[in-house]
Structure 1
């Protein structure tokens, strides 16, 4: 497994209070494949908190992805929803967990908030 993926999962508990502000609660299993090998990550989410483990377990949802695609996701070079829609990865179970989890991924390089761009256009920088 790449260091970027390892660091991403290690960072989740510290980032959870800012990312998981809603009432999302449940367990997401993420299965990452490289060749014939599959690594499992179990992410237990609740409002403002995340616990991460390296095991399979009972889960409310399962996300299947290649490790290569997941590394692109954690580095902002790909988008999770787009990958699922293009069938580059698959998902089953409670879709709300997937939608909440994807907020941990960084935006692509050069992405700007459209509200900020509109403020600059109108001359308001507040």
Structure 2
């Protein structure tokens, strides 16, 4: 399956993350359950920085799912919003922090932001041609 959610969270560094809104601060707890036990991950978001630790402390937003759901998100096979709509993932608390959660895990392999794709097409020779496939 590739990267697990635990590996993805452990790899997060406390560097600045410009994709997180500047005014968004708070705490998230990710509860990954499996076989009668729960693994807790605690994320603190401050000034576009995310710090990760292991704790079951109260948080502004709590996201609960089976470990395989988190692993599928970490592998880019499942989007957080889709998992929530299918009730594979439950969310309780300050939904503004869901933005941070969604941006922690990558999208599908090879996926690009639409602006990035448009810039690439514009930079190519003959960029006026029809590039639909």
TM range (shorter): 0.7 to 0.9
TM-score (norm 2): 0.79
Which residue number corresponds to residue 81 of structure 2?
81
Distance of 2:100 and 2:57 partners within structure 1? 19
Q: CA RMSD in A?
A: 2.3
Q: Is 1:109 aligned to 2:100, yes or no? A: no
Structure 1, unaligned stretches of length 5 or more? Answer: none
Which residue number corresponds to residue 24 of structure 2?
24
Aligned length, in residue pairs: 123
1:16–1:37 Cα change, 3 Å: farther
Check conservation: 2:3, 2:71, Cα contact below 8 A: no
Deviation readout 1:28-53 (Å, 9 max, x if unpaired) = 11100112111111111112212211
Give 1:18 shift. 4.0
Which structure: greater helix fraction? 1
Distance of 1:41 and 1:16 partners within structure 2? 20
User: Structure 1 residues 17-26 or 33-42, which shifts more?
Assistant: 17-26
1:107–1:27 Cα change, 3 Å: same
Check conservation: 1:20, 1:46, Cα contact below 8 A: no
Which residue number corresponds to residue 60 of structure 1?
60
Give 1:21 shift. 4.7
For the pair shown, the structure with the greater C-alpha radius of gyration is: 2
Q: Is 1:123 aligned to 2:127, yes or no? A: yes
Q: Give secondary structure in 2 for the equivalent of 1:73.
A: helix
TM-score (norm 1): 0.83
